[in-house]
Structure 1
Amino acid sequence: MRATAVPARVGRFAMRFSSTPRGARLARRLTGNRLETWDIPYDSTAHDDIVLIVAELAANAVRHGRVPGRDFRLTLTVVGPSVRVEVSDARSEREPVTSAPSGHCDSGRGLLMVAALSARWGWGPRDDGPGKTVWAEYQLPHCV
């Protein structure tokens, strides 16, 4: 049995978006489009998972990382079998909550979902100004 070769994918996409629900939706839609150009097709599990990761991180940037007048930045990087998602916002004093929500809370599950979908994730100080960057790395299956 022959091993399935992983397509040689290399690409980078970076863009700033307004820290509004509309900006988060646009980030999600442009991610889907970019993944398609990187041969990660619509309706594939990998495509859906990565778009969901972006949706959660962008929504968090808008909801918890918003500073009036400051945008959030989305960066997607694909190298071979790995896609890295980075979302940078302008608030450094609000750290991502990494524990499960208690009680009947309707929020707080987004990062748990990101953790479940990604190979690894984390956060750190933003490298180009005040704020933080939350990142997740997704491992593509060999058959995408």
Structure 2
Amino acid sequence: MNAEITSVAAEFVQRFSSTRRGARLARMLALHQLDAWGVPFGTTPSDTAAQIVAELAANAVTHGHVPGRDFELRLVLLRGDRVRIEVADARGERRPRPRVPQDGVEEGGRGLLLVEALAEAWGVTGRDVGKVVWADISVR
């Protein structure tokens, strides 16, 4: 994890099946958790978080899938009105990077351009099995 996480106010962690259905459920539960933390549905921070969770969860399901392995969503409410969104999968050798498609031929990578535009910071860190893709956003 990134060394910046030093002032945790609250945390939510849940594993999901590495399926499209699991990715949708991760997005829905993230929004419910943020609402419980005082980030109301339909606000800009909630919508931003929804888009980032959707992109990172879709990437975990599409590119980070290992048969029989789940992906994990972790939300960390940080003091200072920030939230870190982390999605972990089991494919450590497949590091994501944003890509601008050449002549519309190349598929993929566009979602990370969106994450890069919406997040204050984002990155990838390794773990024992797989990787964690994280993004920090302001919720105020």
Fold equivalence (TM over 0.5) = yes
Q: CA deviation at 1:98?
A: 2.6
What is the distance in 2 between the residues matched to 1:50 and 1:102? 28
Q: CA deviation at 1:106?
A: 4.9
What is the distance in 1 between the residues matched to 2:83 and 2:133? 14
Tell whether the 8 Å contact from 2:55 to 2:112 is kept in structure 1 after alignment.
yes
What is the distance in 2 between the residues matched to 1:55 and 1:99? 18
- Residue equivalent to 1:75: 74
- Residue equivalent to 2:123: 122
What is the distance in 1 between the residues matched to 2:53 and 2:62? 14
The CA RMSD measured in Å over matched residues stands at 1.4
What is the distance in 1 between the residues matched to 2:139 and 2:25? 23
1:76-121 deviation digits (Å, cap 9, x = unpaired): 0012311000100000111102332222145321111001000000
Larger radius of gyration: 1
What is the distance in 1 between the residues matched to 2:97 and 2:119? 17
- Gaps of at least 5 residues in structure 2 are 1-7
- Gaps of at least 5 residues in structure 1 are 1-8
What is the distance in 2 between the residues matched to 1:119 and 1:73? 21
Paired residues in the alignment total 131
1:38-67 deviation digits (Å, cap 9, x = unpaired): 110011000000011001000000000000
What is the distance in 1 between the residues matched to 2:118 and 2:18? 24
Instruction: Give the TM-score normalised by structure 2.
Output: 0.89
Identical residues among aligned pairs (%): 50
- Residue equivalent to 1:103: 103
